[in-house]
Amino acid sequence: MSGEQRTGPSIVHDDAGAGTGIATSAPLADEDQARADFYGLFAHLLLAPPDAALLGALAAADPVAAAGEFALEDAWLKLTQAASVVDAALVADEFSALFISTGTPLLNPYGSFYLTGHLNDAPLAALRQDLAHLGLARAPGVGEFEDHLGALCETMRVLIQGGPGMRPRGLAAQKALFEAHIRPWYAACLADVAHAADANFYRVVAGVVDAFLSIEAQAFAVLDTTDPIAA
C-alpha cells in the first residue's frame, strides 16, 4: 500500500453487472452472521488502523465460543487483551510502518504479489473478472487493489451478507472465490505480518485472521458444491 491510507470498503455493487433495485433476503443464520462479522472486522483491521472506539469495542468484546476451534478462541482472546492495552496512535504508527510507504512498503498484502512476485499482475485480472461476474467492482476513488487481503475479506462479507442491490450468495459462490483468490496465499501473507520486526498489535491481528481463515479453508474443502444447500 503506497501513498494514501485506505479507510473505506473497496468493493461496491455494480448495477450494470447485476441489475438494479434493492435486494431483500431472509435474516442470516447465526453462524453466517458471525462469519460476515468476522470478515467485516478483519477487512477493517487490514485496510486501516483501528481508532480508539474500535479498540475499546474489541477490549470489551465477549470471548468467542467456536465449537472446539481452540486456535480461534485463543487468538480472539489475545486480540481483545491487546486491544485493551494498546494506544490507537501507536497502532496507527505501526500500521504505517508495516503497510504504507512512498516507495516500497515493508509488507504488500496482495494476492498478485504473493502468487507472482509482482503487483497488479494476472491474479488481479482474474479476480476482477470473477468479481464482474458477481456484480462487484472497486468503488470509485478507491486506490487499493481488489486483491488486497482486506479487500477480499470485505468481498467475502458481501457475498455472505449481501449489500445494496445485491442478495447474499450461497456457499458455492463463497467457496469459489475463497479457493481461487484467498486460500493459495493468505497463510504466507499473514506469516509475514506476524514475523515482521515492526509488528506488535498486528502480530496479534495476523494470528486471529489466520485462525479464522484456516477454519474457512477446512470447511470449504469438505463442502459439496453440488448439494442444493450450497447453491
Mean predicted confidence (pLDDT) in 42-61? 98
**Does residue 194 lie within any of the structural domains?**
yes
Mean predicted confidence (pLDDT) in 33-60? 98
**Does residue 204 lie within any of the structural domains?**
yes
Give the CATH number, domain containing residue 201: 1.10.3480.10
Contacts of 115 (CB under 8 A, 6+ apart): 121, 123, 184, 185
- Tell me, what DSSP letter sits at residue 61? P
Mean predicted confidence (pLDDT) in 208-231? 88
Q: How far apart are CA 181 and CA 147, in angstroms?
A: 8
**Does residue 22 lie within any of the structural domains?**
no
Contacts of 13 (CB under 8 A, 6+ apart): 135, 136, 158, 163, 164, 165, 166
Q: Residue 156 belongs to what domain range?
A: 28-230
Q: How far apart are CA 185 and CA 109, in angstroms?
A: 9
Residue type for 52, please? A
Q: How far apart are CA 84 and CA 91, in angstroms?
A: 12
Residue type for 102, please? T
pTM of the model: 0.90
**Does residue 143 lie within any of the structural domains?**
yes
Considering only residues 169 and 229, tell me which one the structure prediction assigns the higher pLDDT.
169
Q: How far apart are CA 209 and CA 76, in angstroms?
A: 9
Residue type for 63, please? P
The burial of 140, by beta-carbon neighbours within 10 Å (0-12 exposed, 13-18 middle, 19 or more buried), is given as exposed
pLDDT band at 6 (very low <50, low <70, confident <90, very high): very low
In this predicted structure, the answer to whether residue 158 has a pLDDT above a threshold of 80 is yes
Confirm if 182 and 37 have CB atoms less than 8 A apart. no
pLDDT of residue 67: 76
**Does residue 67 lie within any of the structural domains?**
yes
Q: Quick: pLDDT tens for 93-133.
A: 999 999 998 778 999 999 999 999 999 999 999 999 999 99
Give 142's Cβ-side CA count (13 Å radius): 18
Q: H helices of the chain, where?
A: 15-18, 30-47, 52-59, 70-85, 88-99, 111-116, 122-134, 149-161, 171-181, 186-195, 201-221
Structural domain total, the chain:
1
